[in-house]
Amino acid sequence: MKPTVSTTASKAVAAALAAGLLMFSAAGRAVDLTVYTAVEAEDLKRYADTFNEDHPDINIKWVRDSTGIVTAKLLAEKNNPQADIIWGLAGTSLLLMKAEGMMEPYRPKGLENLDPKFYDSDPVPSWVGMDAWVAAICYNTVEGAKHNLEAPDSWRDLLKPMYRGHVIMPNPNSSGTGFLDVSSWLQIFGEKGGWTYMDGLHRNIARYTHSGSKPCKLAAAGEIPIGISFAFRGARSKEAGAPIEIIIPSEGIGWEMEASAIIAGTDKLEAAKTLMDWSISRKAMEMYNTAYAVVGYRGIAKPVKHFPPETVSAMIDNDFEFAANNRKRILTEWQRRYDSKSEPKN
Amino acid sequence: MTADADTATTDATTVTAPASTTPAAASPAARIRPKTGRDDKIMAAFIAVIGLYLIVSLALPLYAVLSKSVSAFYFDLGNFEFQVDRGAGWSAPVTARQLNDELRALSPEELRTSGDGRLAVTVFFPDFNFRAPTRYRIRQVQPEAAFLAGTRRVADTDWHTFDSNQFRRVVLRASKSTGLDNYRAYFSTPALFRSLKNSLTIAVISTVLTVALAFGFAYALTRSAMRFKGLFRIIAMAPILVPSLLPGIALVYLFGNQGMLKSFLLGESIYGPIGIVIGSVFFTFPHAMIIITTALSLSDARLYEAAVSLRASRWKTFWTVTIPGARYGLVSAAFVVFNLVITDFGLPKVIGGQYNMLAVDIYKQVIGQQNFEMGAVVSVVLLIPALLAFTIDRVVQKKQVAQLSSRSVPYAPQPHRRFDALCLLYCVLVTVFIAGLIGVCQYAALIKFWPYDLSLSFNNYNFDVMDGGGWDSWKNSIRLALYTAAAGTAVIFCGAYMVEKTQRFVATRAAFQFLAMLPMAIPGMVLGLAYIFFFNNPANPLHGLYGSMAILVICTVTHFYTVSHLTAVTALKQMDREFESVAASLKQPFHKVFSRVTVPVCLPSVLDISIYLFVNAMTTVSGVIFLYSPDTALASIAVLNMDDAGDIAPAAAMGMMIFYSNIGARLIHLLLTRKVMRNTQAWRTRRGEAVR
């Protein structure tokens, strides 16, 4: 069917109307901000809604994926960034991007309220933290009893022969949580002690997963009784009714922060700064605190259900710079030692 | 799921021989060179457009992968200069290279690195002590690399001064160069290199098993007089309708540590080669089954009669008549299965455990370590066995000659009680295996909390509160499948028409044929990665497609181009060139013949192509894993991501949604085909004998 003159004309009118509408909405004050994040999917809407209570004129367009994928995406887009701002991505990933010169340094209002661990030490920080997620062991009490396993108290406990094949952890080559575990052991036990520890642990590991939350989910499902994962995931699984205990090992735990940064080159700098300011406000921090036991704002964190009380005191003094600068070396060494083992064990 | 619905895959591999002979040589009439008319010009333009499409969507992205894989990184020591102040003023500037030449601190090997390489500068100062009052200065000669002071990036060429405690936090960043360093690094990393061996091992074992099992199944279907053949066929086709990683999830529920049948494995772990092989047999079975069934059904009953009259035993007949008759089908099936297994990514990711495979390595390099260069290298390595298998198959298929002549008599199996019962038993076992794995997934999807709360619920279908994109991802998948089916069918059928029916431009058409065959040898993972490198380049005018639905459609169409192209070519070959000649002599433009005659006649094949594209767009993982954006999350990716996050039951639930959507699409396809057959294909049966 050929378009008649009248349909062509009506199409033109429709197009003009649509263009007019677009211009009208652009003339309004609403700004679309493209926000890259690795925050849990279930929390996104709550975060945006709470932000919009104070800033209804900024419309958040989420781009969410797991930490690895968002980081890969940002680095792939290095020369042509699509994001305006990052809100909620691992600090280690932000350090990688800072090393590529991808951040727009900005000192958000209220920075003095944060624990200095939670922001970049440069005079004008490139990134600021929101909250911390901490390593933890998820221990399935039902399966543990079935296999006559004691609940482990420490990282070293996991070396006991009775745990052989009953421990699962993420592969640091595919999971940020896995790298967090490895880099924290190297800091807790020292470089040499750390590798010795992992040599021993490797004997007990059933297998390495590709994601950081899977070990805890598998522990929750009883597939493997002990999962090295992070406390947040354990708390969620416990809330869902899984028979698990969240154990904070006595030697201390590695942790990683969720942080925010403005992407250099954004043409929505003002809106991005507004979001940065808000992201470390007391209101925002209280919002993070509903799920995360540790937040950057000093003195406001309330205990979170299912998080062991010793969580905060067990956090090690994590050296993110060490982790970032030695990442390649650590991963190569890890791969050489453990990833070349082709036979799975059970 | 009728026989004709499956020709899309069938034709792909069995009917390659006619497609590879150049059409110009096919008929002597073509040698009379007609003048280039208006039609020819239009058709040439069409070929150019679709050829350009293939170049942009295939050749250029692959080139981008190749060039990425040879972009190496090294520490350019000559580019960094130091000055030291030990209390007596600044020393003369000295480059890191000069220092290294004196000290031999780093070998040339150690200067090679990756894009994220960092080198602490203190290695060049053996007397370095962070407590010493020494001061250091560093600068870049050319602003080509950078160094980090702590976490701050410094890319200018100014001198920067540090005290010794700050200086120990200075690291050099790498410069880019071109070379084979990445390949050297790859082949000297045992863990990576072992994946190649693992991939080949798994692919060979799975190929042998699948082809053997599928041959038995096809043999029972074509050579026995057992009952329920139609039902067996339908069930055996089911794995095509689910993502390849779904059997992995079913195997976890069956043989995992909390599995229902764990004891069957005698203490072996399902996570590893055993799981990958079982899952691979499951998802490749229908592909092999269709091809071998087609090959076996093209047999000439006269050969069997001859065998009987020569008193050959059943055994001997099997080896001298059946197997030789089916050998090209067997080779094709083996090639298809081998390529499917070696390029598959979802299954080893879900159930591979510690057993590394190439396709998973690409993912680990790119997503886990953001090492795009090494990802490209693994891609190229993965390309080699796939291309090799492809080439061997092409060479073998060229030798194929028509087995069916006009005098052939179709073989009709005679009832034979014991043999039929045996065949029936075998087919029951195979279909129970297939239906069982799918059934387990559906069961797992409905269990509230395996293994602690076995009550049934729909909680696992509450996708919106989980990773993976929620119900939107399912809607996106349906959209992608529809767009792919529509756009893909149009592009591919037109392309095939131009290649098949044009008389001129022999060289162009040969090049086009080659491009159209190529996607079959390109793993989806490699194609996806290629698209990142190509389309995400800001200098690329098509950059706007990145992150859109369009790029997913383009990737999927290209990924599944070959099979659809061959189906179209086969259908078009059935039509005599006379149609075009008559139309030309009647001064009718080609597009009239195309729309009034060609398309209606080929409509069943057109529908086959579109259902093939639809189903594959629903289940594909590897091609789109790097390309989806939050607005275009897909159901198949959601299955993968939910499993990755440990939400295995919801992953199974989403997998089953894909399954049911595909069944729905198949049913619609079946109804449409029936209607089309009645409306446009009545001529095929009007006089008892079909055209040709």
* pLDDT at residue number B423: 96
Residues of B in contact with A82 (CB under 8 A): 547
Could you tell me the pLDDT band of residue B19, with boundaries at 50, 70 and 90? very low
* pLDDT at residue number A26: 43
Q: Is the predicted pLDDT of residue B480 greater than 50, yes or no?
A: yes
Distance, CA of B409 to chain centre? 38
The answer to whether A151 and A232 are in contact (CB under 8 A) is no
Would the CB atoms of A122 and B152 count as touching at under 8 Å? yes
Q: How far is CA B469 from each of CA A217, B466, B528, rounded to the nearest angstrom?
A: 19, 7, 20
Q: What is the pLDDT of residues B33-43, one digit of tens each?
A: 555 567 777 87
Q: What is the pLDDT of residues A201-244, one digit of tens each?
A: 999 999 999 888 899 999 999 999 999 999 998 998 898 889 99
* pLDDT at residue number B402: 65
Name the average pLDDT for chain B. 87
Classify each residue of A168-185 as buried b or exposed e, where b means 16 or more C-beta atoms within 10 Å of its C-beta: bbbbbbbbbbbbbbbbbb
Would the CB atoms of B113 and A75 count as touching at under 8 Å? no
Residue of A nearest to B190 (CA): A340
For residue A168, list its beta bridge partners.
A207, A227
| Distance (Å, whole) CA B111 – CA B106 | 7
Q: Which are the contacts of B544, defined by CB distance < 8 A and separation ≥ 6?
A: none
Q: Cα distance from B233 to chain A (closest Cα, Å)?
A: 35
Would the CB atoms of B354 and A325 count as touching at under 8 Å? no
Could you tell me the pLDDT band of residue B50, with boundaries at 50, 70 and 90? confident
Nearest to B644 among A71, A211, A331 (CB): A211
| Distance (Å, whole) CA B570 – CA B286 | 21
* pLDDT at residue number A30: 84
* pLDDT at residue number B34: 53
Could you tell me the pLDDT band of residue B638, with boundaries at 50, 70 and 90? very high
Q: Tell me the backbone φ, ψ of residue B684, rounded to 5 degrees.
A: -65, -30
Q: Tell me the backbone φ, ψ of residue B318, rounded to 5 degrees.
A: -60, -45
Q: Is the predicted pLDDT of residue A188 greater than 80, yes or no?
A: yes
Q: Cα distance from B547 to chain A (closest Cα, Å)?
A: 10
Q: Which are the contacts of A162, defined by CB distance < 8 A and separation ≥ 6?
A: A148, A149, A150
pTM for this model (two decimals): 0.87
* pLDDT at residue number B12: 37
* pLDDT at residue number B565: 93
Classify each residue of B677-688 as buried b or exposed e, where b means 16 or more C-beta atoms within 10 Å of its C-beta: beeeeeeeeeee
The answer to whether A130 and A88 are in contact (CB under 8 A) is yes
* pLDDT at residue number B134: 93
Q: What is the pLDDT of residues A255-290, one digit of tens each?
A: 999 999 999 999 999 999 999 999 999 999 999 999
Residue of A nearest to B625 (CA): A69
* pLDDT at residue number B144: 85
Nearest to B258 among A77, A221, A241 (CB): A221
The answer to whether B409 and B300 are in contact (CB under 8 A) is yes
ipTM over 0.90: no
A171 contact B CB<8A: yes
Residues of B in contact with A339 (CB under 8 A): 191, 354, 356
Would the CB atoms of A42 and B465 count as touching at under 8 Å? yes
Q: What is the pLDDT of residues B139-191, one digit of tens each?
A: 999 988 899 998 889 999 999 999 999 999 999 999 999 999 999 989 988 88
For residue B162, list its beta bridge partners.
B136
Residues of A in contact with B453 (CB under 8 A): 241
Q: Is the predicted pLDDT of residue A25 greater than 90, yes or no?
A: no
Would the CB atoms of B538 and A79 count as touching at under 8 Å? yes
For residue B154, list its beta bridge partners.
B147
B34: left (phi over 0), alpha (psi -120 to 50) or beta: beta
Would the CB atoms of A63 and B629 count as touching at under 8 Å? yes
Give the dihedral of Cα atoms B531, B533, B536, B538; nearest 10 deg: -140
